[in-house]
Structure 1
């Protein structure tokens, strides 16, 4: 059996990891599964609002936001409102992976950028400028950035948050990590800051030297691939010394393209 081009530690949640694993293997990469995050769906809300009332826009932050919305009590209200309203509710996604998740469930999500897929790009689009007194729902996970909410409110919109999932630490896959340390051209994938934080906590329990991000324990890594400049900057601010690449696009295709560019 020929040697793989590289070895990816796939830290995505278990139910979201398989498609990426298959694509990487197709391109002669090895994949070691080691989820650092589990997704828990939020069933109830502290603040209940009626989605069947006049809503102008709904913004989905992630593919998990789409899945959580479909599981929530608000999805039937959205369907009811869609049938009764004279003006269709505008549906938006931050990125293409979120858009595709919506398409798969008959949610016609629009993206407002063809290059950068983040809150800043969404907010820069003309559609998000003249929104005074519009009612906007942001579907997201618990916690996370507040830029979208605060900016839309500053522009005069009535913004409501619908938090439909939370990220929690997954059990540590110690054997997978030990195998990863000995692998050919090891590349670490981090899709969120929580992914890194949860993984780091487990690693420090395994070996306290991991707490120092400039320590030689980390030097076995060929590359670390992250989902945003924000994650890269936060890791470097904490002392990370290794090479970091930001994905070309926040999707499996973007991850794969970045991997292949790294190993070309």
Structure 2
């Protein structure tokens, strides 16, 4: 059977993944569970960036939203030679984030795929003593404190920059039920859960617009997730379907993981 992915990527990111899946002969139903709302940079953003030693980006959205926010604040694109401290580097959480940094032309650390997680960054031997260094954490509003706590424990002066807010997309009942039905009636439905907040939003949308048994049925379906932490969380919530962690966290990784269901 050919699997069909419930493509829950944030608004503005679903189309690229669906096109890549179609090119690989795989089906998908676009169903974003997160909408991105831009936030302003801090008042002293220009001065802070100029003294930062490291910039850590937690997502592709963080890269894109910083680029847009900087343009809004200064009236021009971010120019590393002009705006950043000499020798400063950008670090990515996730391969898609790495690609977004490279596309911007910002000085980006060359990391192996296995290093595209928070824990791997914090475990780097050259990150064990960060006293005297300023680290900007470019992120969405809220989220985990693991990076902030880990960087602070290593002695860094950490400044979180929330540059976007994750919102629930504005669905009508008809829009939701049309997408859900197309996915649920496919031969092999598989759901993509790329963040814990995305899972919470998915549950909320099913509760709001779904039929009585939709939530229980959802928990029996195969899931592809972006981290062991999400997989563990789903298990604790009572998820009964098979769960596969996507590695690397990219379109290629999603396609590779999805294709494995065609051979099992």
Calculate the TM-score normalised by the size of structure 1: 0.88
Distance 1:197 1:52, change over 3 A: closer
Alpha-carbon distance between aligned partners in 2 of 1:117 and 1:80, rounded to the nearest angstrom:
25
Secondary structure (helix, strand or coil) at the match of 1:122 reads helix
Deviation at 1:113, TM superposition (A): 3.5
Residue 52 of structure 1 and its aligned partner are, at CA, apart by 4.6
Q: In the superposition, relative to structure 1, how do residues 111 and 93 fare at CA in structure 2: closer, same or farther (>3 Å)?
A: farther
CA distance in 1, matches of 2:141, 2:164: 6
Counterpart position of 2:184: 181
The runs of at least 4 aligned residues of structure 1 exceeding 6 Å deviation read none
1:35-61 superposed Cα distances (whole Å, 9 cap, x missing partner): 11111111254x744235421111111
1:193 aligns with one of 181, 191, 196? 196
Shift of 1:127: 2.6
TM-score normalised to structure 2 length: 0.88
The question of 1:17 aligning with 2:20 is answered no
Q: Which moved more, 1:184-193 or 1:121-130?
A: 121-130
The count of residues paired between Structure 1 and Structure 2 equals 255
Q: Matches of 1:168 and 1:136 in 2, distance apart?
A: 27
Aligned partner of 2:262 in structure 1 is 263
Deviates more, 1:194-203 or 1:51-60: 51-60
- Distance change in 2, residues 1:103/1:44 (3 Å): closer
Q: Does residue 126 of structure 1 match 2:125?
A: yes
Distance 1:16 1:79, change over 3 A: closer
Please say if 1:251 is aligned against 2:217.
no
Indicate the RMSD between aligned Cα atoms, in angstroms.
2.3
Shift of the 151–219 alpha-carbon distance from structure 1 to 2, 3 Å rule, reads closer
Q: Is the 2:34–2:198 Cα contact (8 Å) retained in structure 1?
A: yes
1:1-264 mapped onto 2 (5 Å cutoff): 5-45=2-42, 48-49=44-45, 50-73=47-70, 76=74, 79=78, 82-83=81-82, 87-172=86-171, 173-205=176-208, 206-210=210-214, 215=216, 217-218=217-218, 221=221, 223-264=222-263
Unaligned runs of 5+ in 1: none
Cα gap change, 1:114/1:219 in structure 2, threshold over 3 Å: closer, same or farther? closer
Distance of 1:261 and 1:18 partners within structure 2: 22
* SS of residue paired to 1:259: helix
**Deviations 1:60-95 (Å, cap 9, x if unpaired)?**
111100001101248859946733777321211122
CA shift, 1:207, in A, is 2.9
